[in-house]
Structure 1
Amino acid sequence: MNNSKIEIIDPRTVWIGADAAQVDLVMYGDYESEACAKAQDIIDQLLKQHRNTIRFQYRHFPLTRIHQYAHKAAEAAVAAVQEGRFWEMHHLLFAHRKRLGSISLKEYASEAGVKDKNFIPKLVDSVYGWTVRADLLEGVDKGVRDVPAIFINDVLFEGKINGASLTRAIQELLPAKQSKRA
């Protein structure tokens, strides 16, 4: 009798940026969302500008009522986590957000460096479905109703999501630099 259990690496353990960062950014998003793709572009710029002071994590919040492929795309991203290829897959999914069918997901996984020969069967069997759902439920518990939803040090960012407003919010959390005033 085969009682093997699949151990799933939780995507919530995956961050990009400095480990000792003073500011944590967490975005709940949907891979089919244009607004989430734009928010990701802004966050990518912030990560470059604030390399040592911020770190970022993505959480799945697929809006399945309006985006029929978003949940499977999120599952594909979780599959990539299992091989340490999350960020590669994450960026490919946003780059190709208008083409997220199963065959396309397999192509992106291969391009991202995912080697799992059972990638499609695992998507079909929703092996990672509960992992995506856990992010979704956590988001709902935190008050997320729409995406993108960005949390800065665990506080929901209420402003307009653009480079200037996010930079301001981040800078408010950083220790004040020494003033040159006497």
Structure 2
Amino acid sequence: MRNGIKKLFLSAIVILGFQQILSAQNGNSKYVNPFIGTSGFGHTYPGATVPFGMVQLSPETGNFKWDYTSGYQYADSTIWGFAHTHLSGTGVSDLGDVLFLPFHGDGGNMKAAFSKKTEKASPGYYTVVLSKDNIKAELTASAKTGVHKYTFNKGGKSSILIDAQSGLVNSPREMSMHVLEGKLDVKG
């Protein structure tokens, strides 16, 4: 009798566990709005992340002020780059670290304009089109890694700026301003 009750109890737990997995796959995430808290002093970011994930891929739209402790403000219309680490809702500047910014030509302006019409986010995924160069940026994350995908829709020289000096800091004095140039040709 005891074994029968144990088997019944264990079976119920397994069935309930599978039910939770199936309900998650049935699209409850469509009700999540990653832009909640990204304006004012919410200090959140809309980028790609998963619960308890090691990376949080998201755009950074500013720096140097308390407004940018998460690296993003919804009202902004320029992106400084995309980074892998962010803190959500803390009100404390930290992380950000290395920025990636795709561009055409020889650079010059190290910010990219974008339209809110092309910016979309859902759990684990973020996409935006950088207006001037017509570059589609897509970010996705898993528990331990993240992936950037850039689609260059114009001909000519395409590049990615890797800014290893910025990070999220409180003032320009806290940031190093030393630029190293390099070139990497990717073929295939």
The question of a shared fold, defined as TM-score above 0.5 by the shorter chain, is answered with no
Larger proportion of strand: 2
Greater relative CO, 1 or 2 (CA 8 Å, sep 6+)? 1
Larger proportion of helix: 1
| Bigger Rg, structure 1 or 2 | 2
| Normalised TM-score (structure 2) | 0.24
| Normalised TM-score (structure 1) | 0.24
